[in-house]
């Protein structure tokens, strides 16, 4: 479930770092919630004419010391010219405080700043005569400086950087890449660091799946809109897709039986185990049916009574 | 000596500004008819549809997921255009569980304004158009929701909307979003805060006419659409392709079959809620009955006293004395006001919503059971 184009780079992990007990280990993987992605895309849409890319702060949690889970993102004001880069730190701080407040104190796991994001778009770098390949990675000259700033914010944990390709530039597909930074050079300087890619996955709760389905259905419709579905139509869709999947399996099995397709033992075993799990509930079925019918009857009765009660309250007073 | 003359010379050299400024009374150009639907200063075009941005959908679901059931609420930001209310952003509001009311509401207001200011700084919409509320099992009739919406309906352009998101439905595989407004007749009653039975009769108000639903649709902007489609597209570099089955399977968003889940674990909880709702309603009904009995008793006592006084007066008149006034008798008794029916109205609405959810869940369960049986026997 990795996002973005496959990377041929070797993920170099700084294992010697983990041995120091004082500094927490560098994250080795990153999961990102769809809401964070959508916030970044929305921010990119709302950029001004002068901005060629937008940056912002990533909030999230650290389920284990070596993984980072990004759940929220918010935009940060910044300006980048050829000479200098400025990030509105005050804005960033107050926005973070508001995010923590808005979530309320009911949550046990605290949100914390885990890193920063930037959208792709590196025409400035190309103009400056840097190599094209460097620009395409969405990492500009100032990325190291901003990374250094966020390292201070996330201390003692190292900051992660998420580069999001919006897919609006030629030759660069949409995708998400994640990096951690590693100091490089003879002397440690803020602007010297190497960005090491780490694997990045989309992660959401099972119950949030339905919302994503709704968005997918609206994104595939021609004008980009959709109305919320009813449970029954949802069930219908699921049944249709199950039925088509079954017929695909059937076609494959028949092809194997006829000998036109080379049988694949792994696939066969998988199908065997899946189809073997059909529950045997012949006896329970009738009772379950009675229960459901009873519940349905009861629900209708309650609704009718409620309606009558509402009318009677009005009629009694006149 | 030379200074005033210099000023005079300067003034003379200038092309009489005062004369030019006077006829500059503002002349407004008439709004061209092609734009008249887009420019709607007085909010005259009624709302016909609410359009939720994908970002808002995702934010609301995440917030509802994160917070304990039914307590997530927040503000909606956006604009209205040609009768469509476009909701483009939202942010959560903290739960006010603390008891210090004034302090909480003040800090809440501060939080709201600073959040809005911050969003404006990054070119976000900062126009509040309503609020959202997460509920469970379809029951959203609550005093606080009605109160908040009543305040909004007075202050906001178009009165604002409330988006209700049902957490339990979403967990079952159907993302449920509905938009509501208070009906005019309910607002009328609410403003007078007169929820006596006669006022309800006069406005023909039952629980089903407290809120009116506004059609709602979801929109994803083209950038997000393309991004989502890339995510959902099967990735070519999956380690184990089931190419034999006709299509590769893995993508960042795999297809889900949660709608086919046979378990009806939610039914028991739903039934409990219905039973609880009935109990609550019976308690409230008892309260109302007690109050009406109280009123009847007071009225009876007043009547007897009045009758006594009249008898007395008749006697006095026959004896040639002035009759005593009847007003001070009625002043002796304070008849309590008619009991408010708002609570029982809301409880009935709650009960109806629970039962409706139960009904649809049972119906769906039936369909699934027959489907499973068909799958089993064949």
Rounded to a whole number, what is the distance in Å from the CA of B310 to chain A's nearest CA?
29
Which pLDDT value is given to residue B209?
82
Instruction: Tell me the per-residue pLDDT of A160-196, one tens digit each, with 9 for 90 and over.
Output: 888 887 777 666 677 788 888 877 777 767 667 788 8
B209 and B289 belong to one structural domain: no
Of B224, B250, B251, the CB nearest to A219: B224
Which pLDDT value is given to residue B131?
86
* Helices A209-220 and B54-66, packing angle to 10 deg: 170
Using pLDDT thresholds of 50, 70 and 90, give the confidence band for residue B246.
Answer: very low
The parts of chain A modelled with pLDDT lower than 50 are 1, 5-6, 8-21, 122-136, 318
The pair of structure tokens assigned to B236 is 């070519």
Residue B208 lies in a domain: yes
- Residue A233, judged by CB atoms within 10 A of its CB (0-12, 13-18, 19+), counts as exposed
Element (H, E) at B73: strand B73-81
Rounded to a whole number, what is the distance in Å from the CA of B198 to chain A's nearest CA?
7
Cβ–Cβ gap B367/A98 under 8 Å: no
Of B63, B217, B252, the CB nearest to A225: B217
Cβ–Cβ gap B220/A293 under 8 Å: no
Which pLDDT value is given to residue B6?
52
A8 reaches B (C-beta below 8 A): no
Tell whether the model's pLDDT for residue B35 goes beyond 70.
no
Using pLDDT thresholds of 50, 70 and 90, give the confidence band for residue B194.
Answer: confident
B179 and B58 belong to one structural domain: yes
Q: What mean pLDDT value characterizes chain B?
A: 76
B293 and B356 belong to one structural domain: yes
**What span, in angstroms and rounded, lies between the C-alpha atoms of B149 and B183?**
11
**What span, in angstroms and rounded, lies between the C-alpha atoms of A228 and A215?**
10
**What span, in angstroms and rounded, lies between the C-alpha atoms of A26 and B230?**
29
At residue A113, what are phi and psi to the nearest 5 degrees? -75, 125
Tell whether the model's pLDDT for residue B263 goes beyond 70.
no
- State which residue of chain A sits closest to B244, comparing Cα positions: A252
Residue B127 lies in a domain: yes
Rounded to a whole number, what is the distance in Å from the CA of A126 to chain B's nearest CA?
24
Tell whether the model's pLDDT for residue B161 goes beyond 70.
yes
Cβ–Cβ gap B175/A37 under 8 Å: no
B83 and B217 belong to one structural domain: yes
Q: What is the mean pLDDT of residues B182-191?
A: 84
CB contacts, 8 Å: B242 with chain A: 267
Which pLDDT value is given to residue B138?
73
- State which residue of chain A sits closest to B178, comparing Cα positions: A228
The pair of structure tokens assigned to A214 is 């709704």
Rounded to a whole number, what is the distance in Å from the CA of A304 to chain B's nearest CA?
9
Residue B76 lies in a domain: yes
CB contacts, 8 Å: B368 with chain A: 235
**What span, in angstroms and rounded, lies between the C-alpha atoms of A38 and A23?**
32
Cβ–Cβ gap A42/B89 under 8 Å: yes
Radius of gyration for the alpha carbons in chain A, expressed in angstroms and rounded: 27
**What span, in angstroms and rounded, lies between the C-alpha atoms of B206 and B348?**
9
B144 and B203 belong to one structural domain: yes
Question: Number of structural domains, chain B?
Answer: 2
Closest CA to A203 of A70, A99, A5: A70
DSSP helix/strand/coil, A118: strand
Full domain range(s) for residue B144: 3-7+43-222
Element (H, E) at A29: strand A29-32
Task: Out of A86-100, B5-19, B70-84, pick the least confident.
Answer: B5-19
Q: Mark which of B191, B222, B253 sits at the end of a domain.
A: B222
CA end-to-end span of chain A, whole Å? 66
Which distant-in-sequence residues (6+ apart) come within 8 Å of A28 by Cβ?
Answer: A13, A66, A67, A198, A199
- CATH code reported for the domain at A29-206: 3.40.140.10
Cβ–Cβ gap B176/A282 under 8 Å: no
Tell whether the model's pLDDT for residue B51 goes beyond 80.
yes
Task: Out of A177-181, B205-209, B244-248, B250-254, pick the least confident.
Answer: B244-248
CB contacts, 8 Å: A288 with chain B: 369
Using pLDDT thresholds of 50, 70 and 90, give the confidence band for residue B1.
Answer: very low
Rounded to a whole number, what is the distance in Å from the CA of A3 to chain B's nearest CA?
7
The pair of structure tokens assigned to B204 is 């023909």
User: Which residues does residue A117 pair with via DSSP β-bridges, in sequence order?
Assistant: A56, A162
Which pLDDT value is given to residue A251?
87
- State which residue of chain B sits closest to A292, comparing Cα positions: B362
Cβ–Cβ gap B58/A318 under 8 Å: no
The answer to whether A47 touches B123, Cβ cutoff 8 Å, is: yes
User: Which residues does residue B164 pair with via DSSP β-bridges, in sequence order?
Assistant: B133, B178
Instruction: Tell me the per-residue pLDDT of B301-340, one tens digit each, with 9 for 90 and over.
Output: 888 888 888 888 888 888 877 777 777 777 777 777 777 7
The answer to whether B186 touches B155, Cβ cutoff 8 Å, is: no
Which distant-in-sequence residues (6+ apart) come within 8 Å of B50 by Cβ?
Answer: B84, B85, B87, B161, B163, B179, B214, B215, B216, B217
- State which residue of chain B sits closest to A301, comparing Cα positions: B355
- State which residue of chain B sits closest to A107, comparing Cα positions: B67
**What span, in angstroms and rounded, lies between the C-alpha atoms of A14 and A16?**
6
B162 and B101 belong to one structural domain: yes
Instruction: Tell me the per-residue pLDDT of B356-373, one tens digit each, with 9 for 90 and over.
Output: 888 888 888 888 888 777
Q: What is the domain-level CATH number for residue B110?
A: 3.40.140.10
Chain CA centroid to CA B330, Å: 43
B217 and B286 belong to one structural domain: no
What are the residue ranges spanned by the domains of chain A? 29-206, 230-276
Interface of A with B in 44-103 (CB under 8 A): 44-48, 71, 75-77, 91, 94-95, 98, 101-103
- State which residue of chain B sits closest to A318, comparing Cα positions: B198
Which pLDDT value is given to residue B240?
37
Cβ–Cβ gap B51/A45 under 8 Å: no
Which distant-in-sequence residues (6+ apart) come within 8 Å of B361 by Cβ?
Answer: A231, A295, B172, B264, B266, B267, B270
CB contacts, 8 Å: A310 with chain B: 206-208, 345, 348
Q: Other CB atoms closer than 10 Å to residue A163's CB: what's the count?
A: 23
Quick one: CA torsion of B167, B171, B174, B180, rounded to 10 degrees?
Answer: 0
Of A281, A282, A295, the CB nearest to B362: A295
Q: Mark which of B222, B248, B277 sits at the end of a domain.
A: B222
Residue B63 lies in a domain: yes
CB contacts, 8 Å: A215 with chain B: 54, 57-58, 218, 220, 224, 228
CB contacts, 8 Å: B259 with chain A: 231, 234-235, 237-238
Tell whether the model's pLDDT for residue B157 goes beyond 50.
yes
Which pLDDT value is given to residue B79?
84
DSSP helix/strand/coil, B79: strand
Tell whether the model's pLDDT for residue B27 goes beyond 70.
no
The answer to whether B74 touches B132, Cβ cutoff 8 Å, is: yes
Which pLDDT value is given to residue B167?
83
A278 reaches B (C-beta below 8 A): yes
B141 and B65 belong to one structural domain: yes
ipTM score of complex:
0.80
Integer angstrom CA distances of residue B235 from A9, A217, B254? 18, 19, 11
Which pLDDT value is given to residue A11?
47
Q: How many CB pairs under 8 A join A and B?
A: 310
The pair of structure tokens assigned to A226 is 């959709």
Which pLDDT value is given to residue B38?
58
Cβ–Cβ gap B230/A285 under 8 Å: no
Using pLDDT thresholds of 50, 70 and 90, give the confidence band for residue B42.
Answer: low
CB contacts, 8 Å: A309 with chain B: 281, 348
Of A42, A234, A316, the CB nearest to B55: A42
């Amino acid at each position: 479930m990795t996002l973005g184009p496959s990377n041929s780079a070797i993920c170099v992990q700084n294992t010697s770092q983990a041995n120091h007990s004082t500094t927490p280990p560098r994250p080795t993987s990153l999961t990102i919630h769809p809401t964070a992605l959508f916030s970044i895309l929305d921010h990119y849409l709302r950029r001004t004419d002068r901005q060629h890319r937008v940056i912002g702060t990533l909030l999230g949690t650290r389920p284990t010391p070596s993984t980072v889970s990004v759940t929220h993102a918010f935009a940060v004001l910044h300006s980048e010219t050829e000479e200098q880069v400025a990030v509105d730190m005050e804005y960033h701080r107050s926005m973070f405080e508001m995010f923590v407040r808005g979530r309320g104190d009911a949550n046990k796991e605290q949100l914390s700043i885990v890193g920063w994001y930037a959208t792709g778009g590196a025409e400035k770098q190309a103009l400056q005569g840097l190599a094209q390949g460097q620009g395409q990675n969405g990492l500009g000259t100032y990325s190291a400086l901003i990374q250094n700033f966020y390292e201070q914010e996330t201390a003692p944990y190292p900051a992660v950087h998420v580069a999001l390709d919006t897919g609006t530039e030629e030759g660069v597909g949409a995708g998400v890449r994640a990096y951690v930074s590693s100091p490089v050079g003879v002397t440690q300087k803020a602007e010297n660091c190497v960005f090491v890619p780490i694997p990045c996955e989309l992660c959401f709760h099972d119950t949030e799946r339905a919302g994503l389905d709704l968005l997918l259905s609206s994104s595939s419709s021609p004008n980009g809109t959709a109305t919320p579905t009813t449970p029954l139509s949802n069930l219908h869709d699921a049944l249709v897709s199950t039925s088509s999947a079954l017929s695909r399996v059937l076609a494959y099995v028949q092809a194997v039986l006829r000998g036109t397709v080379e049988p694949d033992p792994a696939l066969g075993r998988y199908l065997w185990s899946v189809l073997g799990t059909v529950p045997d509930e012949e006896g329970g079925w009738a009772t379950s049916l009675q229960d459901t019918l009873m519940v349905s009857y009861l629900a209708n009765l309650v609704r009718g009574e409620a309606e009558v009660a509402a009318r009677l309250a009005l009629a009694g007073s006149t | 000596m030379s200074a005033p003359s210099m000023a005079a010379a300067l003034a003379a050299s200038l092309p009489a500004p005062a004369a030019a400024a006077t006829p500059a009374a503002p002349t407004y150009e008439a709004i061209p008819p092609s734009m008249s639907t887009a420019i709607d200063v007085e909010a005259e075009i009624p709302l016909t549809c609410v359009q939720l941005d994908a970002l808002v959908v995702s934010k609301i679901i995440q917030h509802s997921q994160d917070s304990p059931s039914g307590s997530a609420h927040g503000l909606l930001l956006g604009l209205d255009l040609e009768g469509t209310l476009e909701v483009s952003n939202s942010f959560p509001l903290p739960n006010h569980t603390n008891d210090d009311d004034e302090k909480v509401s003040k800090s809440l207001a501060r939080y709201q304004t600073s959040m809005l200011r911050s969003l404006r700084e990054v070119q976000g919409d900062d126009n509040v158009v309503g609020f959202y509320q997460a509920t469970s099992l379809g029951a959203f009739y609550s005093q606080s929701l009605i109160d908040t919406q009543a305040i909004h309906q007075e202050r906001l352009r178009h009165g604002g909307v409330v988006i209700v998101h049902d957490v339990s439905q979403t967990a079952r595989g159907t993302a449920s979003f509905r938009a509501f407004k208070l009906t005019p007749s309910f607002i009328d009653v609410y403003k007078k805060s007169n929820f006596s039975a006669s006022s309800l009769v006069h406005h023909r108000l039952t629980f089903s006419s407290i809120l009116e639903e506004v059609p709602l649709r979801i929109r994803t902007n083209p950038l997000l659409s393309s991004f989502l489609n890339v995510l959902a597209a099967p990735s070519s570099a999956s380690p184990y392709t089931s190419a034999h089955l006709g299509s590769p399977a893995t993508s960042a968003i795999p297809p889900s079959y949660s709608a086919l889940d046979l378990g009806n674990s939610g039914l028991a909880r739903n039934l409990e809620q219905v039973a609880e709702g009935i109990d609550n309603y019976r308690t409230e009904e008892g309260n109302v009955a007690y109050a009406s009995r109280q009123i009847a008793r007071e009225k009876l006592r007043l009547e007897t006293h009045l009758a006594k006084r009249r008898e007395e007066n008749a006697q006095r008149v026959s004896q040639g004395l002035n009759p005593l006034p009847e007003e001070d008798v009625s002043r002796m008794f304070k008849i309590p006001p008619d009991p408010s029916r708002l609570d029982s109205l809301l409880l009935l609405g709650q009960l109806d919503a629970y039962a409706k959810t139960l009904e649809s869940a049972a119906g769906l369960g039936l369909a699934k059971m027959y489907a499973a049986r068909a799958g089993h026997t064949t």
